Chains A and B, each alone.
Chain A
């Protein structure tokens, strides 16, 4: 079974531009979550999509948005890029997602997209 794939793997953008990152989950997984990883802040949760609906979101500004398609593939968009947006963006998929206490929400991570903003 193919794992989680993310495209592109590396990206260089200029301040003020916008960027779209893509994530293809494991076949059959309906939940996709996005995370930002930086040396200073560590891993931070951005948002989770389940069956095309945003089910949860972290504490990020509105410049960060996402969506999920009917085939569960997800995209994340960052508008008006800032230098501080430079990070590794990780996508993770799971069968049932993060909602609920007793459900199995084991997450499988992709390799990430390394975004550099200059």
Chain B
């Protein structure tokens, strides 16, 4: 596998279900991101992890719970979601090393989530 992979690619869940999205990067990066892309809004940054530490939580509801066990893996645990949470969830990674210039982010193909 190369680049950034995400599983599953498609997920349908009921509002009472608990599920998890998985992201894995094979680029040796240290920073990982979750974005939400819904039909009527621009891409929204949800969470940022750098060296496994969460450095950004963009006012995301607690029904979304991220986990970063190591620099290569990022999870998004989902529980009691609402239909408006249906969207494409994109994972990205970047070098995350020292310096002030923001880096190119590499994106996975996304998980298309439908909440019934």
Decide if A and B are genuine partners. no
Residues of chain A touching chain B, judged by Cβ–Cβ distance below 8 Å, are: none
Residues of chain B touching chain A, judged by Cβ–Cβ distance below 8 Å, are: none
